[in-house]
A = this chain, B = another copy of it.
Amino acid sequence: MNSKQLIVKMVFDRWYASIKNWDALLNVITDAQLEKEIAAGKNRGIYLLGHLIAVHDDMLLLLDMGDKIYPQLHEPFLRSTDKTIAQIPSAKELRANWTEQCAVLKQKMDHLTPEQWFEKHTAVTAEDFIKEPHRNKLNIIITRTTHLAYHTGQLVLLK
């Protein structure tokens, strides 16, 4: 195993462990609990779920893996704060979106070689990438893993 293969494994081990931690929580939290705020006056569980799907949908663009699956979630869960949009999808619907999205992302991610993970993501220009080679696709996984962990630390409060 060369060093690129090794580090891609390390980063994805953490990504999938973080997805698993989130899923383990989501599976024991009921739809009624998801409607509750994680702390008084803060975001509801259902907002966190929608927000994660919206953020992970953006990963498809950043990783040059095609279009978003759920563009309709951008407005309520990325551009708006919780409890400001009257109509959001149900917990049941968001759970189904999340499961489907995780499968699609995994299938697409599995196709990339370790070398390809070190190629530039779409939000950096080829010119900048020469000077900043850390702005590669693998870095998107690293940053989204901590983002996921941050919100997992909040979802757990509903348990």
Q: Which residues does A use to contact B, with CB under 8 Å?
A: 1, 3-4, 6-7, 9-11, 13-14, 18, 38-40, 42, 118, 133-134, 136, 138-139, 142-143, 145-147, 149-154, 157
**Distance, CA A18 to CA B150, complexed state (A):** 10
Count of identical protomers in the assembly? 2
**Taking chain A's interface residues, is the majority helix, strand, or loop, or is none over half, making it mixed?**
helix
User: How distant is A151 from chain B, measured CB to nearest CB, in Å?
Assistant: 6
Residues of B close to A138: CB separation below 8 A = 7, 10
The chain B residue sitting closest to A48, CB to CB, is B153
User: How distant is A50 from chain B, measured CB to nearest CB, in Å?
Assistant: 16
**Distance, CA A151 to CA B152, complexed state (A):** 9
The chain B residue sitting closest to A114, CB to CB, is B3
Extra contacts, 7 of them, besides A1-B133, A42-B157, A147-B149 (Cβ < 8 A), are: A6-B133, A6-B134, A10-B142, A14-B146, A142-B142, A149-B149, A150-B152
User: What are 13 inter-chain pairs, A to B, with CB distance below 8 A?
Assistant: A1-B133, A10-B134, A10-B138, A18-B146, A38-B39, A145-B146, A146-B146, A149-B149, A150-B150, A150-B152, A150-B153, A152-B153, A153-B154
